[in-house]
C-alpha cells in the first residue's frame, strides 16, 4: 500500500466515523464484531470440484463447472497454496469447507463409505497451523452408485445403505475436525435425488429419504464437535420437475430432528431471497447454515458480488439478531476466471455486506417503525445507501494487514505469473 493510501485511509475513516456517530452508530464496535465473524470458504472453487479421489472423472450429479481458465489446482499441495494466498487477501480469520472427495489416500482407491479421519490428517494439520476451522460435506454425486440420480432415496436398499454409510462416515470426520481444531464442524448433506420429468410417485422417494437420514443420524455425536445440516433445493440439472429433498421436506426434518437447515441462495426461484425466510425459520429450527452464492436466471453458482440480494441476506442476519445462530459459507465454482480471485472477490463482497449491515442505525430505524413513521424510515434507509461504509471497510482491511482496494489483484496477478501459469491442466 502506498504512503498516500496509508495517509488517506485513516483520514477517510475519521470522517466516516463521525458521520456514523451522528446516527448513533459506533464504528469501532461494528469492526470488532465483524472481526469475530468467520466465513466458510469452499475448497471446490480451487479445482473445479474434481477432488483427489483415485479414478474419479469429475463432478457429475447435475453439477457443471464452466470454463478452462489456466491454473487449476491439481493436488492437495497446490490447492492449499492457493487457499493460503486467498486467505491472506481477506480480512479476518475464516474456515474451509471440504467435500469428502478431497480425502488424501496416498493414491489408493478408498470407497466413500470407508473414509476415515486419517484420510484428512493433512487438512487438519494445515488448518491448525493457519488457525482455520474445517467443515465437511458428503459427496453424493460423481459416483457409479449415483448414476441414476438417486442416492439416499434410491429404490435399491443396497445403494441406500452405501450412501447412509458414506454420510455417517463424514459425520465422524466432522467430529474429528471439531475435536482437533476446537471449533465445531458443520457436516452438510446435499443429495441430487430427483426426476427430470413429472413423477407419479412423489411420496416414495421422500419416505425412503426420511428413513435413510434417520439411519445416518442414529450415532450420537457431541454438537460441540460436529453440527449436522441438511440442504434443500428447488430443482437441479436432471431434476427439473421433482427434488426429493425439497424445502418443505428438509424444513420439517430440521424441525423434528433438531439439526441445522442449510439455505443456499441459488437453490430457490429467482424471485425468492433466502433473507425472507430467516425470521420465520429461526423461530422454530435449531439454526441455519448458509451457502451464499449468486444465481443468474436458473444457474446458481456464480461468484458472490455486492448486489441487492447479498445485502438483504446480511441485513436480515443483523436486523434479526441471528448472527449467533447462523453459520455463513460460500458455494460457487467459476472456472472462467482466476480461481483464487473468485475466492477473494466473493469473500470480500460478503464481508463488506456484513459490515454495511453492522453499520445500520438499528435503534433509530426500529424507533421510526414502532412510531409508525414509515416516511422517516424510508428516508433514512435511502440516506444510508450513500453513507461512507467503504471508508470503514478500507480501514478494516488496513488494520487487518490485508490489501486495500484493488491492490489484492496485483498480488493475484503476480501469483498467476509466477505459479498458476506454470501448471498444466
- Is 291 an annotated catalytic residue? yes
Q: Give the position of cell 419416505.
A: 207
Q: Which of 233, 316, 343, 393 is catalytic?
A: 233
Q: Would you say 257 and 217 are in contact if contact means Cβ atoms under 8 Å apart? A: yes
C-alpha cell at 208: 425412503
Q: Which of 126, 190, 343, 393 is catalytic?
A: 190
Q: Which of 47, 331, 334, 416 is catalytic?
A: 331
- Is 267 an annotated catalytic residue? yes
Q: Which of 264, 360, 394, 416 is catalytic?
A: 264
* CA nearest neighbour of 216 among 285, 166, 253, 286: 166
Q: Which of 132, 225, 267, 302 is catalytic?
A: 267
- Is 156 an annotated catalytic residue? no
Q: Which of 291, 309, 343, 416 is catalytic?
A: 291
Q: Which of 53, 135, 228, 301 is catalytic?
A: 301
- Is 166 an annotated catalytic residue? no
> CA-CA distance, 397 to 348, in Å (whole number)?
10
Q: Would you say 109 and 101 are in contact if contact means Cβ atoms under 8 Å apart? A: no
- Is 231 an annotated catalytic residue? yes
- Is 128 an annotated catalytic residue? no
Q: Which of 82, 135, 231, 334 is catalytic?
A: 231
Give DSSP secondary structure letters for 63-115: B------S----SHHHHHHHHHHHHHTSSS--EEEEEGGG---TT----GGG-
Q: Would you say 177 and 133 are in contact if contact means Cβ atoms under 8 Å apart? A: yes
Give the largest Cα separation in the chain, rounded: 68
- Is 264 an annotated catalytic residue? yes
Report the length, in residues, of the chain.
425
Catalytically active residues are 190, 231, 233, 264, 267, 291, 299, 301, 331
Amino acid at each position: 500500500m502506498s504512503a498516500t493510501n496509508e495517509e488517506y485511509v485513516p483520514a477517510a475513516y475519521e470522517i466516516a466515523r463521525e458521520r456514523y456517530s451522528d446516527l448513533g452508530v459506533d464504528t469501532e464496535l461494528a469492526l470488532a464484531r465483524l472481526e469475530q465473524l468467520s466465513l466458510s470458504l469452499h475448497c471446490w472453487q480451487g479445482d473445479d470440484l474434481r477432488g483427489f479421489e483415485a479414478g474419479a472423472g469429475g463432478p457429475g450429479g447435475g453439477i457443471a463447472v464452466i470454463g478452462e481458465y489456466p491454473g487449476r489446482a491439481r493436488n492437495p499441495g497446490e490447492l492449499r497454496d492457493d487457499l493460503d494466498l486467498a486467505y491472506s487477501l481477506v480480512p479476518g480469520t475464516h474456515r474451509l469447507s471440504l467435500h469428502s472427495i478431497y480425502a488424501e489416500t496416498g493414491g489408493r482407491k478408498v470407497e466413500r463409505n470407508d473414509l476415515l479421519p486419517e484420510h484428512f490428517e493433512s487438512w487438519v494439520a494445515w488448518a491448525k497451523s493457519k488457525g482455520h476451522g474445517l467443515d465437511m460435506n458428503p459427496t453424493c454425486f460423481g459416483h457409479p452408485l449415483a448414476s441414476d440420480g438417486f442416492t439416499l432415496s434410491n429404490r435399491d436398499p443396497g445403494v441406500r445403505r452405501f450412501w447412509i454409510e458414506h454420510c455417517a462416515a463424514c459425520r465422524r470426520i466432522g467430529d474429528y475436525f471439531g475435536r482437533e481444531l476446537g471449533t465445531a464442524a458443520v457436516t452438510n448433506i446435499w443429495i441430487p435425488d430427483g426426476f427430470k420429468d413429472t413423477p407419479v410417485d412423489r411420496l416414495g422417494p421422500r419416505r425412503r429419504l426420511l428413513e435413510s437420514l434417520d439411519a445416518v443420524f442414529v450415532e450420537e455425536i457431541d454438537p460441540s464437535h460436529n453440527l449436522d445440516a441438511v440442504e434443500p433445493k428447488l430443482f437441479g440439472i436432471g431434476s427439473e420437475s421433482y427434488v426429493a429433498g425439497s424445502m418443505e421436506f428438509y424444513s420439517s426434518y430440521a424441525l423434528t430432528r433438531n439439526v441445522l437447515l442449510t439455505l443456499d441462495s441459488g437453490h430457490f426461484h429467482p424471485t425468492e431471497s433466502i433473507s425472507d425466510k430467516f425470521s420465520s425459520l429461526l423461530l422454530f429450527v435449531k439454526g441455519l447454515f448458509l451457502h451464499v452464492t449468486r444465481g443468474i436466471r436458473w444457474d446458481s453458482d456464480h461468484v458472490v458480488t455486492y448486489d441487492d440480494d447479498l445485502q438483504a441476506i446480511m441485513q436480515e442476519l443483523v436486523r434479526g439478531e441471528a448472527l449467533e445462530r447462523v453459520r455463513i459459507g460460500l458455494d460457487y465454482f467459476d472456472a472462467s476466471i482466476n480461481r483464487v480471485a473468485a475466492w477473494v472477490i466473493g469473500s470480500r463482497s460478503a464481508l463488506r455486506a456484513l459490515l454495511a449491515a453492522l453499520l445500520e442505525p438499528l435503534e433509530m430505524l426500529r424507533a421510526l417503525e414502532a412510531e409508525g413513521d414509515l416516511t422517516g424510515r424510508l428516508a433514512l434507509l435511502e440516506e444510508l445507501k450513500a453513507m461512507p461504509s467503504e471508508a470503514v471497510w478500507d480501514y478494516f482491511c488496513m488494520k487487518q494487514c490485508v490489501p486495500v482496494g484493488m491492490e489484492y489483484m496485483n498480488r493475484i496477478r503476480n501469483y498467476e505469473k509466477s505459479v498458476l501459469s506454470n501448471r498444466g491442466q
